[in-house]
Chains A and B, each alone.
Chain A
Amino acid sequence: EDQVTQSPEALRLQEGESSSLNCSYTVSGLRGLFWYRQDPGKGPEFLFTLYSAGEEKEKERLKATLTKKESFLHITAPKPEDSATYLCAVPPFGNEKLTFGTGTRLTIIP
């Protein structure tokens, strides 16, 4: 069964303190790993798609990387506005839907 596991569940950082979020996956024939950001009271918002091991993508203070078993979302010198829940997701083989992890709730303290 396809699974997506995210860690930690919650992370509190001081402003400027860099760290990484983890997404481990088991899926038959990976066809992309997706990162979303969700703010309180809103729907998830697309950030990145990674397709192959070794691929990296960046957006402002965020960088996503992918290996054959996991993905990392690195956040460099975060600001309070980076506080959100970060979700990763994979499409099961032969399917268009996305299976989501339970997310990491990130809080950046000024």
Chain B
Amino acid sequence: DAGVIQSPRHEVTEMGQEVTLRCKPISGHNSLFWYRQTMMRGLELLIYFNNNVPIDDSGMPEDRFSAKMPNASFSTLKIQPSEPRDSAVYFCASSARGSGANVLTFGAGSRLTVL
């Protein structure tokens, strides 16, 4: 298995631009999580899905952030418009409910820099 695949690995953009991060979870995993990591705040959960349905989006900072999961093999996290304070590493993770629940497998992350 190729693991959780994220793209792009690095993104540099200017304030006000739209950013789209992509994630392909492990096949057969039915929970998907988006986390953000910064030096100041560590790993913070933004949103998670079960069976493609958003369950908890209480960590989404504001309306500029949105996430979708149109099918079991693909999810996007979009920031529009982006701001410098959004600079962070964004991780996608997946897990299989009912089998080692909460054992998340993380992708390599997308490092976002907003100038």
Contact = CB atoms under 8 A, between A and B. Distances in A.
A96 B50 contact: yes
Given A42-B109, A43-B91, A43-B93, A99 B102 contact: no
Interface stretch (B14-22, B40-48, B61-69, B73-81): B40-48
A42 B45 CA distance: 17
A81 interface: no
Contacts, number: 52
Given A97-B48, A103-B42, A45 B106 contact: yes
A94 to B, nearest CB: 11
Contact of A43 (B56, B95, B107): B107
A91 interface: yes
Interface band, chain B: 20 to 34
A98 B42 contact: no
Interface residues of A, number: 21
Contacts of A96: 31, 48, 50, 55, 95, 97, 101-102
B93 A99 contact: no
B108 interface: yes
B88 interface: no
Contacts of B48: 96-97
B47 to A, nearest CB: 9
Interface in A33-87: 34, 41-46, 49, 87
5 closest cross-chain pairs (CB), A and B: A43-B106, A102-B42, A100-B43, A97-B45, A91-B102
